[in-house]
Structure 1
Amino acid sequence: MQASAADAVADTATDTVTDAVAGAVTGYSDRLGTVHPFGDAAAEQRVRSDDRNHVFHSWSAQAQINPLPVAAGEGSTFWDYEGNAYLDFSSQLVNLNLGHQHPDLVRAIQHQAGRLATIQPSMASDVRGELARLIAGVAPGDLNKVFFTNGGADANEYAVRMARRVTGRRKVLSMYRSYHGGTSTAISLTGDPRRWANEPSDSSVAHFFGPYLYRSAFHSTTPEEETQRALEHLENVIVLEGAPTVAAIIIETVVGTNGVLVPPPGYLAGVRALCDTYGIVYIADEVMVGFGRLGEWFAVDAFGVTPDLITFAKGVNSGYVPLGGVVISDRIASFFDTVSFQGGLTYSGHPLACAAGVATFDVFERDGILARVRDLGERVIEPEIASWLERHPSLGEVRGRGMFWALELVRSRETREPLVPFNAAGADAAPMAEVAAACKAAGVWPFTHFNRIHIAPPLIITEGELRHGLAAIDAALTVADRFAG
């Protein structure tokens, strides 16, 4: 049934994935630089064998997965060893903001490797300092210093460590619908089910409900009500947890994996005000939405708020070399002028990663990335997916901004019953698996989570590619419609 549904959707696709690019890429290069044509079954089998025999994958039951061997990537597309092209509508893990094999980023890494491949973080590096200056230059308010990490999880770990040290308090509040990373404190901050198997960990974390009007925990009917009631709830949690014990509140500016939940008007400003009232550090987790995903350098700029700390990773250099960090306000940075900061990483601000980060700024400025994200989001994505509500009974709500959107799939618009249950697995998750398979059969690799499809393509995607990917998802929704009453 799954295969036939996928084939049916593939047959209705309006065109192939980016004919110009797909036609230009006819093979792949191995680690020694030798070029091979697609269709090398022996090479694919070696990749599969090594992976299955020796690679331990994250968030997975090892015997129940079958990872796709990827041979090549370029722009918004990647290829398997058979030569099948997939339009990358998830930017891998919402990190590949400038796409696969961007020549400017590759060139920057190659050049840096040729002149100084690495240097320890206690020494000064030109590219590390330049990238920190560039980040500070686009950060809001007085966030003028950067502590570099290896990724988003440890960025959140260190932001919390800073907040606890500065305030002398221990407790941190975070949303139930959130993901902040897989390390010890970060997984405790996480609200979604990935936390459950890792408990107990950091016991000084308490969770609260953030705004989510479509499934309001506060029985709200308008965005204004949701803002007011969500803030009242948060203040109650602060008071009941003991305001003098709360060091920080950490919030994904737009909740990512757990729903692309855009905060209603005034909510983040209200969080800022509560933090000021109770002496709490406001940490904005922008690991997923920073560096252009919403058409802003930092997503908080779209909501007119300035946090005390911003965490970032992913889009800062598209993940070409692991890099993350914390952007720090003057008030918090100055605390450590005479107090030693007890934290560090061997690869903090790695020169290869920072070189790709500096190149990212050059590309953003030269190619007008922020403006094109806003344009394509407003002119192409939003009106197109909004029109689907008229003909897909499985589509309960569409929401998002820039190049970051969610389609919430339901069995009933009246009851809003999700297409699959919360945290569904196995047979319970089959309807979403069928929808994803239909997208892939049409040459589009989707981002799915629970009962949602997320739209998060590379920011350099062409308008033609974007429209093709949307058409494929539109067709795939006919699979979901079969389950909607």
Structure 2
Amino acid sequence: MTATLSSTTGTLSNTEVLTGDRSSVFHSWSAQGSFSGLPIAGGQGSTVWDFDGKRYLDFSSQLVFTNLGHGHPKVVAAIQEQAATLATIAPAHANETRGHAARLITERAPEGFNKVFFTNGGADANENAIRMARLVTGRDKVISRYRSYHGNTGASIVATGDWRRIPNEYARGHLHVFGPYLYRSEFWATTEEEECARALHYLERVVQLEGPETIAAILLETIPGTAGIMLPPAGYLAGVREIATRYGIVFILDEVMAGFGRAGQWLALDAYDVVPDLITFAKGVNSGYVPVGGVIISDPIAHAFDERVFPGGLTYSGHPLAAASIVAAQTAMAEEGVVENAAAIGAYQLGPGLRALADRYEAIGEVRGVGVFWAVELVTDQESRTPVDDATMGRLKSELVARGLLPFAVANRLHVVPPAVVTAEEAEEGIAIIDAALAATFC
């Protein structure tokens, strides 16, 4: 994993690139003085390399978005061709590539979704879904989960349930509830059935006590991603759908991270027999090659704006380069069986491999996931389930990087999220690296 790649890295070194970056770039979610991100020179498929020539398996998919891997030739070519034809156009004009992208996206949605509002990413997709819900209901409040992440714009960051919400609470009308998470149950549950029933009861009581006539939307990640890849128990999403319908609330499913192959389905909701009112997306729809996101809109909500102006828009909504990358990515995913590959890798490599590690390491409290969307929860011991501390996670991340694997770690969890194009051999190599890093950290 240490081959020299002078032809692709040129003469720059990691140190030079990092120094230049730190001198002029203000980084997100970081204390600027201590930023030390790994410089990446290039990538192909599930592998990236730095400026010093070291190769890494990308088991982070960056921020869990390179579902097609790095440097997919069909997507790169489509962006280049579109740039040469029409590099940009205002959203007020009709554009064939934008329309093609929208049609391919709605083909993946449940029946009754025929319109897409394009945004620049997942945060403003959720922002505009909330706006639509408030406009069509005439209500204000939004219910989301404590364990969630919905983005870093005004309403989406306040809808978020983790610590990043607290210094950013400027938006109005947001409520949070606990969702099902049996490993750390807030409901004293001992089975998935109990956890599901009690979480639904709690949600409905919140709706009732807040006043159903005040609640515009329930916003949930189909599978919470950054918060821990917690698969919803059987019946939970269908139960939320019933509550939303009963009280005239718009049900929004956030598929920004879980959608377009990540969970081994075109959309993660496909596995749960549930139809929301709005679906938000970004990330995997085009493997993140050009910033893009959007809202897939059910027909009743879309028709609410047939004669009424929708008071929202973005300068780069449906940008031609982004649209071209969506068309190419969606076509490649279908032709190359990428979704099926993700499902198989989860079933035959990642799931069994990670569970085998859990049998060997006391520090692994729980393994959960599907497709190429897995979390390993790390604890001081399995009885107390006390999360390991930040210093321990820092050592684990260092061990992984030193062995040639880019990790995605949040709190006490290692998220195992390679591209959906990862091969069986690469998945097994990644599991072996994780094994060695766990041994170095905990044994």
For the criterion TM > 0.5, the same-fold answer is yes
How many angstroms apart in 2 are the aligned matches of 1:195 and 1:149? 22
How many angstroms apart in 2 are the aligned matches of 1:407 and 1:338? 49
For each residue in 1:10-33, what CA deviation from the matched residue of structure 2 results, as whole angstroms up to 9, or x when unmatched? xxxxxx48xxxx68x54326xxxx
Larger displacement relative to structure 2 (104-113 or 63-72): 63-72
Listed as ranges, the matches of 1:339-358 within 5 Å are 339-358=308-327
How many angstroms apart in 2 are the aligned matches of 1:390 and 1:150? 43
Local SS of the residue matching 1:70? coil
Q: Which residue identity lines up with residue 108 of structure 2 in the other structure?
A: V
**Map of 2:109 onto structure 1:** 139
**Map of 1:166 onto structure 2:** 136
For each residue in 1:341-376, what CA deviation from the matched residue of structure 2 results, as whole angstroms up to 9, or x when unmatched? 000001000000110100011111111111111111
Contact 1:397–1:409 (8 Å) recurs in 2: yes
Select which of 262, 265, 284 maps to 1:293.
262
Larger displacement relative to structure 2 (259-268 or 44-53): 44-53
Contact 2:345–2:423 (8 Å) recurs in 1: no
**Map of 1:103 onto structure 2:** 73
**Map of 1:435 onto structure 2:** 396
For each residue in 1:256-290, what CA deviation from the matched residue of structure 2 results, as whole angstroms up to 9, or x when unmatched? 00100100000000000000000000000010011
Report how far residue 387 of structure 1 moved. 1.2
For each residue in 1:53-96, what CA deviation from the matched residue of structure 2 results, as whole angstroms up to 9, or x when unmatched? 11000011111221222111111111111101111001000011
Select which of 341, 349, 359 maps to 1:380.
349
Report how far residue 43 of structure 1 moved. 4.9
For each residue in 1:179-207, what CA deviation from the matched residue of structure 2 results, as whole angstroms up to 9, or x when unmatched? 100111111001100111112x1120000
Local SS of the residue matching 1:290? coil
**Map of 1:76 onto structure 2:** 46
How many angstroms apart in 2 are the aligned matches of 1:451 and 1:53? 31
Report how far residue 463 of structure 1 moved. 1.2
How many angstroms apart in 1 are the aligned matches of 2:245 and 2:369? 28
The question of 1:67 aligning with 2:41 is answered: no
How many angstroms apart in 1 are the aligned matches of 2:441 and 2:52? 29
Select which of 391, 401, 405 maps to 1:444.
405
**Map of 1:456 onto structure 2:** 417
Contact 1:409–1:480 (8 Å) recurs in 2: no
Contact 1:171–1:204 (8 Å) recurs in 2: yes
Contact 2:122–2:294 (8 Å) recurs in 1: yes
How many angstroms apart in 2 are the aligned matches of 1:269 and 1:27? 53
**Map of 1:389 onto structure 2:** 358
Local SS of the residue matching 2:259? coil
Local SS of the residue matching 2:397? helix
**Map of 1:4 onto structure 2:** none
Q: Which residue identity lines up with residue 231 of structure 1 in the other structure?
A: L
The question of 1:28 aligning with 2:37 is answered: no
For each residue in 1:104-134, what CA deviation from the matched residue of structure 2 results, as whole angstroms up to 9, or x when unmatched? 1100000000111111111111110001011
Distance 1:44 1:407, change over 3 A: closer
How many angstroms apart in 2 are the aligned matches of 1:347 and 1:282? 26
**Map of 1:249 onto structure 2:** 218
Contact 1:95–1:319 (8 Å) recurs in 2: yes
Contact 2:150–2:157 (8 Å) recurs in 1: yes
**Map of 1:222 onto structure 2:** 191
The question of 1:150 aligning with 2:120 is answered: yes
Select which of 429, 432, 436 maps to 1:475.
436
How many angstroms apart in 2 are the aligned matches of 1:370 and 1:48? 36
Report how far residue 480 of structure 1 moved. 4.3
Local SS of the residue matching 2:362? coil
Contact 1:440–1:446 (8 Å) recurs in 2: yes
Report how far residue 45 of structure 1 moved. 4.2
Report how far residue 481 of structure 1 moved. 2.7
Q: Which residue identity lines up with residue 155 of structure 1 in the other structure?
A: A
Same amino acid, percent of matched pairs? 54
Distance 1:43 1:440, change over 3 A: closer
Local SS of the residue matching 1:145? strand
How many angstroms apart in 1 are the aligned matches of 2:196 and 2:100? 39
Local SS of the residue matching 2:92? coil
Q: Which residue identity lines up with residue 67 of structure 1 in the other structure?
A: G
Listed as ranges, the matches of 1:24-63 within 5 Å are 25-28=5-8, 36=10, 40=11, 42-63=12-33
The question of 1:277 aligning with 2:246 is answered: yes
How many angstroms apart in 1 are the aligned matches of 2:144 and 2:49? 38
How many angstroms apart in 2 are the aligned matches of 1:393 and 1:44? 36
How many angstroms apart in 2 are the aligned matches of 1:383 and 1:320? 31
Q: Which residue identity lines up with residue 89 of structure 1 in the other structure?
A: F
How many angstroms apart in 2 are the aligned matches of 1:390 and 1:328? 44
Q: Which residue identity lines up with residue 131 of structure 2 in the other structure?
A: R
Aligned residues: 443
**Map of 1:118 onto structure 2:** 88
Contact 2:13–2:52 (8 Å) recurs in 1: no
Q: Which residue identity lines up with residue 27 of structure 1 in the other structure?
A: S
The question of 1:184 aligning with 2:164 is answered: no
How many angstroms apart in 1 are the aligned matches of 2:202 and 2:354? 32
Contact 2:223–2:231 (8 Å) recurs in 1: yes
How many angstroms apart in 2 are the aligned matches of 1:402 and 1:247? 32
Q: Which residue identity lines up with residue 353 of structure 2 in the other structure?
A: E
